[in-house]
């Protein structure tokens, strides 16, 4: 029998029979998880590149924050008494922090599994009593903690923007929490690709492609699918009737006399039903963070909402979810008071609309969970099959 085994013959009764699939090992303990997290973090701390990256991160955010502050401190840009300067500066810094976090976080987890496998340090970890789920979650938590350090390093700049005024404390806290969750999703996606791909370069590229798809591809698909939800319908249009009206203007371009009367007419024209495809926009991390931000203050001089990038995205996405509204077909000229009243009604309707960010965050978390599940599955031992040239130990 020993001769048969040495020659590579299968044992009796097992010829041609495929190996039984092992049940997934879902054991999870705080001790095992903490062990993997400590090992991963110690390895990162020993690397000087991590400290250099942190220093560059803080320097870039500090430089941009100073430039933004100097720009908006100029009276030539916003006037002597700017309204909404705080939310505008806060939005720009949030966009900067989120964008840089989406660039840096993939690199923290995109080589967590295949990088260790190539270095021969993954197999000694797998032969211990640690379960594949503990190893996968430990690597995820370590990468997430590293990204949270970057986020905490940027927190003082968000607090500085809060100190500029007109920014609710809840906006700062919700932004930090949602940004942290988005970074966790990005780390989980990178972890999944690092377990699926044999080469670190391939997993890094696929992670960045996945993140870019979430951020920019989903809004692009929303725009490209617009013709599919465009239908010809009869709508009531309000417009000015210029029939028999002669308009005269003074030297400053102001209309002399009364405005032409407004009339209603029923017409057949294309109607964009964005309420059918709004969910494509919800997948973007920028939409998740922006939609959760509270509404900016109202300018008391005009009665209009002050603009900032976060509120622009928030109102645009919620308007897309509501679909076409009657005022979309109202082209009558109004006085400033009437326009302010219409704006207040529109703002109230958007505030009353159901939030979009829970759907987007839920979809992102589902993608992150899929990445963790893929990593835990590929960490099961013994291996069923490995790619050619893959190093185990």
Answer yes or no: is 390 within a domain. no
Residue 253's pLDDT is 64
In terms of domains, do 262 and 218 share one? no
Kind plus residue range of the DSSP H or E element containing 233: strand 230-240
Determine how β-strand 262-272 pairs with β-strand 248-249: unpaired
3-class state of residue 231 by DSSP? strand
Residue 370's pLDDT is 95
Q: What is the pLDDT of residues 127-160, one digit of tens each?
A: 888 888 999 999 999 999 988 988 888 888 888 8
Answer yes or no: is 156 within a domain. yes
In terms of domains, do 121 and 242 share one? no
Structural contact between residues 218 and 284, judged by C-beta atoms closer than 8 angstroms: yes
Eight-state DSSP code of residue 212: H
Answer yes or no: is 217 within a domain. yes
In terms of domains, do 181 and 214 share one? yes
Banded pLDDT at 355 (limits 50, 70, 90) = confident
Answer yes or no: is 7 within a domain. no
Banded pLDDT at 379 (limits 50, 70, 90) = confident
pLDDT at 49 over 50: yes
Which residues, in sequence order, are CB contacts of 338 under 8 Å at separation 6+?
A: none
pLDDT at 211 over 90: yes
In terms of domains, do 244 and 170 share one? no
In terms of domains, do 173 and 103 share one? yes
In terms of domains, do 217 and 235 share one? no
Name the average pLDDT for the chain.
79
For residue 381, list its beta bridge partners: none
In terms of domains, do 110 and 207 share one? yes
pLDDT at 316 over 50: yes
Answer yes or no: is 288 within a domain. no
- Cis geometry, peptide bond prior to residue 382 (ω within 30 degrees of 0): yes
Structural contact between residues 166 and 276, judged by C-beta atoms closer than 8 angstroms: no
For residue 232, list its beta bridge partners: 270
Banded pLDDT at 16 (limits 50, 70, 90) = very low
Half-sphere exposure of 88 (CA within 13 A, CB side): 14
Answer yes or no: is 386 within a domain. no
Banded pLDDT at 6 (limits 50, 70, 90) = very low
Answer yes or no: is 285 within a domain. no
Answer yes or no: is 70 within a domain. yes
pLDDT at 46 over 80: no
Eight-state DSSP code of residue 228: G
DSSP 264-299: EEEEEEEEE-GGGTTHHHHTSHHHHHHHHSPPPPBP
pLDDT at 304 over 70: no
Banded pLDDT at 245 (limits 50, 70, 90) = low
In terms of domains, do 202 and 349 share one? no
* Domain, as residue range, for 162: 24-223+358-378
Which alpha helices (DSSP H) does the chain contain, by range? 2-6, 30-45, 48-72, 75-78, 85-109, 114-119, 123-126, 132-163, 169-196, 200-212, 218-224, 279-282, 285-292, 309-322, 336-352, 357-378
**Of 274, 248, 255, 34, residue with least CA distance to 145:** 34
CB atoms inside a 10 Å sphere around CB 347: 16
In terms of domains, do 65 and 210 share one? yes
In terms of domains, do 319 and 362 share one? no
Kind plus residue range of the DSSP H or E element containing 262: strand 262-272
pLDDT at 373 over 90: yes
In terms of domains, do 350 and 232 share one? yes
| Number of structural domains the chain divides into | 2
In terms of domains, do 66 and 199 share one? yes
102/100 Cα distance (integer angstroms): 5
Q: Which of 197-206, 273-282, 287-296, 370-379 has the lowest mean pLDDT?
A: 287-296
DSSP 115-175: HHHHHT-SHHHHTSS--HHHHHHHHHHHHHHHHHHHHHHHHHHHHHHHHTSS--HHHHHHH
Banded pLDDT at 11 (limits 50, 70, 90) = very low
């Amino acid at each position: 029998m020993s001769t048969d085994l040495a020659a590579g013959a299968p044992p009796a009764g097992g010829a041609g029979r495929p190996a039984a699939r092992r049940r997934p090992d879902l054991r999870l303990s705080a001790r095992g998880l903490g062990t993997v997290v400590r090992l991963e973090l110690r390895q990162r701390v020993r690397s000087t590149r991590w400290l250099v990256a942190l220093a560059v991160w803080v320097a870039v955010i500090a430089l941009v924050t100073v430039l933004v502050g100097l720009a908006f401190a100029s009276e030539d840009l916003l006037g002597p008494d700017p309204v909404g300067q705080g939310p505008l500066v806060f939005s720009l810094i949030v966009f900067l922090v989120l964008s840089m976090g989406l660039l840096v976080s993939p690199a923290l987890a995109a080589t967590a599994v295949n990088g260790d496998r190539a270095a021969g340090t993954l197999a000694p970890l797998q032969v211990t009593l640690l379960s594949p789920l503990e190893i996968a979650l430990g690597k995820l938590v370590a990468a997430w903690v590293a990204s949270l350090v970057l986020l905490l390093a940027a927190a003082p700049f968000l607090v500085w923007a809060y100190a500029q005024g007109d920014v609710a404390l809840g906006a700062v806290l919700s932004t930090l929490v949602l940004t942290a969750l988005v970074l966790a999703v990005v780390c989980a996606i990178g972890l999944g690709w690092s377990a699926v791909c044999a080469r670190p370069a391939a997993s890094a590229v696929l992670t960045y492609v996945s993140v870019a798809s979430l951020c920019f591809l989903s809004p692009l698909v929303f725009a490209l699918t617009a013709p599919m939800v465009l239908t010809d319908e009869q709508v009531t249009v309000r417009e000015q009737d210029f029939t028999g009206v002669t308009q005269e203007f003074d030297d400053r371009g102001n209309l002399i006399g009364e405005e032409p009367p407004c009339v209603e007419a029923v017409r057949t024209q294309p109607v964009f039903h964005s309420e059918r495809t709004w969910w494509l926009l919800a997948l973007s991390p920028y939409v998740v963070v922006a939609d959760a931000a509270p509404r900016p203050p109202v300018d008391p001089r005009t009665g209009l909402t002050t603009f900032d990038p976060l509120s622009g995205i928030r109102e645009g996405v919620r308007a897309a979810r509501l679909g076409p509204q009657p005022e979309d077909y109202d082209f009558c000229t109004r006085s400033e008071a009437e326009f302010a009243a219409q704006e207040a009604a529109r703002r109230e309707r958007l505030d009353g609309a159901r939030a979009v960010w829970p759907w987007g965050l839920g979809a992102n978390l589902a993608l992150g969970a899929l990445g963790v599940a893929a990593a835990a599955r590929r960490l099961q031992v013994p291996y069923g099959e490995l790619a050619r040239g893959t190093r185990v130990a």
